[in-house]
A and B are shown apart, each in its own frame.
Chain A
Amino acid sequence: MEALRLEGLGKRYGRKPVLEGVSLAVRPGEVYALAGPNGSGKTTLIRLVTGLAFPTQGRALLLGEDVHKSPQARRHLGAVVEAPAAFYPYLTGRENLRMRAYLAGVKEEGRITEVLARLRLLAVADQKVGSYSLGQRQRLGLAAAILHRPRVLVLDEPTSGLDPEGVELVHGLLQELAREGVAVLLSTHHLQEVSAYAHKVGILGGGRLLDEVVLEGREVFRLEAHPLEGALALLKTLPQVASARMQGGAILFEGSPEVVLQALLKEGYRVQALGPQRFDLMAYYQERVKHA
């Protein structure tokens, strides 16, 4: 069963649609990154998934339970929906977590110390949150989100406001949690960073899920051939080619390079170069958003 499943989720304010028919699924242990320009609907989607806002169409399921029908569905959820995460400034970090632990039904005091240590916040744990830096608050937000060992983690811009060390810490933690079986959905503008470990990237634009890129096990090849347009058209007809597109005077495709080479030579195309290409998520994203 998917840990998180969105079925045709949509939201409109009056007549204006902000999000339309978004469907996606995140399996346990999978990291799903949501990318998109400002105003594409990422934050609205996060608010809908976490049950903070109500959809005008569709539903969001956390381990099979509708998050908008049963507040109990959120017992599986850990989330940070604001950057920096919000806390009571007059309480210490530890006291804030103690309150969260109570709300989440966590009874072990030791768990609070454990997550504080995991996010390297023990030194400031007994200081009032009002005196925390932006990065410390952001890390405390993540500590609060994982406090009750959630099975689904939803994060809006988790590395926003963090220094490089903090960014590395957060990415490391997310990879670790994913390995432990936690499903992670995060929104980000830092595609290069998350592409190192995300399994899927959803590209949002104009309130729609424009594309879903599977990064896990993805092998892309770069082909230089003449004439290029004809070669692209040929590749698109081959069932062994999953996708093919033009980029900077070459064709990038996914599929069997042997089949492609044979087909090109058979049709009389001049093949100048064919080899593996590291998938450039950023370039793909930019192109996808540009043509949305």
Chain B
Amino acid sequence: MLRLFVFELYKLFRLRSVGLGLLAAFLLPFLWALAPGLKEVYGLVLASGWQVVSLSLLAGMEFLFPFLVVMAASESLGSEVSQGTLKSLLLHPLPRTRLILAKLLSALLYPFVLLGVSFLGSLLAGLPHGLGGFYGGTGLGAGGFAGVGFLSAQEALGQLLSAHLLAGIVLLPLAALALLYATVFLSTTASALAAVATLLLMRLLVAFPALSPFLLTTYLDLHLRPQAAGLGLSLLLIYTLGFAFLAALVFERKDL
């Protein structure tokens, strides 16, 4: 199983969407650091390199990172279908559940790699602004980017690591959802579109206040609200497991 997982991971990082996604995650922080409209959009005048890191996370999590994760999970199965290798894999005495599990695990690891690369790119892009303590905030703690006084480098790093970890967990159900749709449609594009459409639809359901606490989309900004992590993390985990279970169930009897 470990070897299968490693192979799936290798294949995932060979995907075009993953390569482009990682490149974008690494390079975009350099763009944010030079963006002239930060004050108008985020009310931010860069005072520290740490703020470049949080800015990259906030900007990325709005749409780009969720989309990249959905694309990668969809393509991990869709590309195998389009190049015909999925059939070759299933001609062996390999239980389908084990294959989809290996794909799921590699897709679930991807958000953390993506965020890790973005973190690294942001640190490099933030270097010219300094990575020491500063007066202000990371945008993730009390007082937003204005902060509540002096923030040490250690505190800033702690806030950012915790926010990146939470953001990674937020992206897990999205990867599982995309993989579920990939097992249904056996197509990268159809699966990615279906996953995005599902998220958009869930956002509309916010008009039903009774449903709101249980919607996946309610917790897509959990990295900004660590106080909601109690229920949020449990629900995200339930969604991830639920989507993964359905994906395995669909794939088990899918005609290829």
Q: Which residues of A come within 8 Å of B, CB atoms? A: 47, 50-54, 71-75, 77, 79, 81-82, 85-90, 99-100, 102-105, 144
Q: Does B7 contact A (CB under 8 A)?
A: yes
Please measure, in the bound complex, the distance between the C-alpha atom of A54 and the C-alpha atom of B90, giving whole angstroms: 13
Query: Closest CB-CB distance, A145 to chain B, in whole Å?
Result: 8
Let me know if B3 is at the binding interface, CB within 8 A: yes
B93 close to A72 (CB less than 8 A): yes
Expressed in whole angstroms, the minimum distance between the Cβ of A19 and any Cβ of chain B is 12
- The interface of chain B, by Cβ under 8 A from chain A, is 3, 7, 11, 14, 83-85, 87-96, 253, 255-256
Shortest distance in angstroms between B76's beta carbon and chain A's nearest beta carbon?
13
Hey, which chain B residues are within 8 Å of A103, CB to CB? 89, 92, 94
> Is A52 a contact partner of B91 (Cβ separation < 8 A)?
yes
Asked if residues B93 and A102 are in contact (CB atoms below 8 Å), the reply is no
Chain B residues with CB under 8 Å of A105's CB are 93
Q: A47-B256, A99-B7, A102-B3 are in contact. Are A85 and B88 (CB under 8 A)?
A: yes
Residue of A whose beta carbon sits closest to that of B91: A79
On whether the beta carbons of B93 and A75 are closer than 8 Å, the reply is yes
Q: Which 3 interchain pairs have the tightest Cβ spacing?
A: A86-B84, A103-B92, A53-B255
Contact A52 B90, beta carbon cutoff 8 Å: yes
A-B contact pairs, 18 of them (CB 8 A): A47-B255, A51-B91, A52-B87, A52-B91, A54-B253, A71-B95, A71-B96, A75-B93, A81-B91, A85-B88, A86-B84, A86-B88, A87-B88, A88-B11, A88-B83, A89-B83, A104-B92, A104-B93
- In whole angstroms, what is the CA distance A155 to B88 when docked? 12
CB distance B87 to A86 under 8 Å?
yes
List residues of chain A with CB within 8 A of the CB of B3: 102
The answer to whether B91 touches A90, judged by C-beta atoms less than 8 angstroms apart, is no
Alpha-carbon distance between A188 and B143 when the two chains are bound, in angstroms:
73
* B residues less than 8 Å from A47 (CB atoms): 255-256
Bound Cα distance A93, B188 (Å): 26
Chain B residue at minimum C-beta to C-beta distance from A50: B91
Q: What is the CB-to-nearest-CB distance from A183 to chain B, in angstroms, rounded to a whole number?
A: 16
* 12 further interface pairs, Cβ-Cβ under 8 Å (given A75-B93, A102-B3): A47-B256, A54-B253, A72-B93, A74-B93, A77-B91, A79-B91, A81-B87, A85-B88, A86-B85, A86-B87, A104-B93, A105-B93
